[in-house]
């Protein structure tokens, strides 16, 4: 594989573009919003600067990485030549199904179509295409350049050749592939999101304040970050969408997003990316 198309240049898309470009792949980064592309490129440049400061890469590595990234505002461009497409658009099954239907028509026959979805069924996305055996989940963790795990999700029809190709590619990125089967939330979010939601319910019920809830989970459970801080980091809209998918997928109200989470999302307080969530940030 030489050319990777990444669809969606938000929190995850820019990180995925960063790691592939740094390993020598050409990256075609696609987003419908010109502003998202501009922000993604400046975030990648800032993150590369951080790596230079730490002595991990040189200024020349930074320039080479950035010159391997091409940005497009239409999925029609940048897909045809790709060996792998990774969809990292908004966590919404209608949007993702539309994207998979469209990229299936544009991509080369041997191109693998992957989704970075946190919770949406890979089998359902695969069923929007004429190549369900070449569709797979490639769930990177945030922040992508730092986190080692890639949760790889087999759809019902994903073939062995596709799984092996994605496992090998993950290793080339110096990340650790963990292969799981398709189910709502897979493993990572099925376990993480109910914990985050429970922390929000505790805050909503006035059991304690955000900082104390986070401190208890950090010191008591040896978590590097408290659940409310982590929710701000992930994006409160993303958390809410995943909980809705878990609730619908398991047909169980225990996953229903807390009222306070819904309220924050409705107010546009989405966490770090908007400057306010459970905490405030300078953007």
Return residues touching ligand NAD (CB under 6 A). 7-13, 30-33, 36, 75, 88-91, 95, 99, 116-118, 139, 142, 234-235, 238
Which residue out of 28, 47, 154, 189 is catalytically annotated? Answer: 189
CA distances from 74 to 79, 103, 164, 207, 237 (A): 9, 11, 30, 47, 24
Active site residue 168: no
The residue (of 37 and 112) whose beta carbon lies closer to ligand NAD is: 37
Active site residue 118: yes
Question: Cα(176)–Cα(170) distance, rounded to whole angstroms?
Answer: 7
The CB-of-192 to ligand NAD minimum distance in angstroms stands at: 10
The CB-of-180 to ligand NAD minimum distance in angstroms stands at: 14
Which residue out of 28, 116, 118, 119 is catalytically annotated? Answer: 118
Question: Cα(209)–Cα(199) distance, rounded to whole angstroms?
Answer: 10
The residue (of 165 and 238) whose beta carbon lies closer to ligand NAD is: 238
Nearest-CB residue for ligand NAD: 10
Question: Cα(174)–Cα(248) distance, rounded to whole angstroms?
Answer: 35
The residue (of 73 and 156) whose beta carbon lies closer to ligand NAD is: 73
The CB-of-102 to ligand NAD minimum distance in angstroms stands at: 8
Q: In what order do the strands lie in the sheet with 149-154?
A: 69-72, 26-30, 3-7, 84-87, 112-115, 135-140, 149-154, 176-181
The residue (of 99 and 203) whose beta carbon lies closer to ligand NAD is: 99
Active site residue 189: yes
């Amino acid at each position: 594989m030489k050319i990777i198309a990444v669809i969606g240049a938000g929190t995850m898309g820019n990180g995925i573009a960063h790691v592939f470009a740094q390993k020598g792949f050409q990256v075609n980064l696609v987003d419908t919003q010109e502003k998202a592309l501009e922000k993604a490129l400046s975030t990648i440049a800032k993150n590369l600067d951080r790596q230079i400061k730490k002595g991990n890469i040189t200024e020349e590595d930074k320039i080479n990485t950035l010159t391997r990234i091409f940005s497009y505002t239409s999925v029609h461009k940048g897909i045809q030549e790709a060996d792998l497409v990774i969809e990292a658009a908004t966590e919404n099954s209608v949007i993702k199904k539309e994207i998979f239907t469209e990229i299936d028509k544009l991509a080369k026959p041997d191109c693998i179509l992957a989704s970075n979805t946190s919770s949406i069924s890979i089998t359902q996305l695969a069923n929007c295409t004429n190549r369900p055996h070449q569709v797979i989940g490639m769930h990177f963790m945030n922040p992508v350049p730092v986190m080692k795990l890639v949760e790889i999700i087999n759809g019902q029809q994903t073939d062995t050749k596709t799984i092996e190709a994605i496992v090998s590619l993950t290793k080339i990125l110096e990340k650790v592939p963990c292969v799981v089967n398709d189910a709502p939330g897979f493993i990572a979010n099925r376990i993480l999101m109910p914990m985050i939601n429970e922390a929000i319910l505790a805050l909503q019920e006035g059991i304690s304040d955000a900082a104390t809830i986070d401190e208890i989970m950090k010191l008591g459970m040896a978590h590097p970050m408290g659940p409310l801080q982590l929710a701000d980091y992930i994006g409160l809209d993303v958390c809410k969408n995943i909980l809705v998918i878990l609730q619908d997928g398991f047909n169980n109200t225990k996953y229903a997003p807390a009222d306070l989470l819904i309220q924050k999302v409705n107010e546009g307080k989405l966490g770090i990316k908007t400057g306010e969530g459970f905490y405030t940030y300078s953007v």
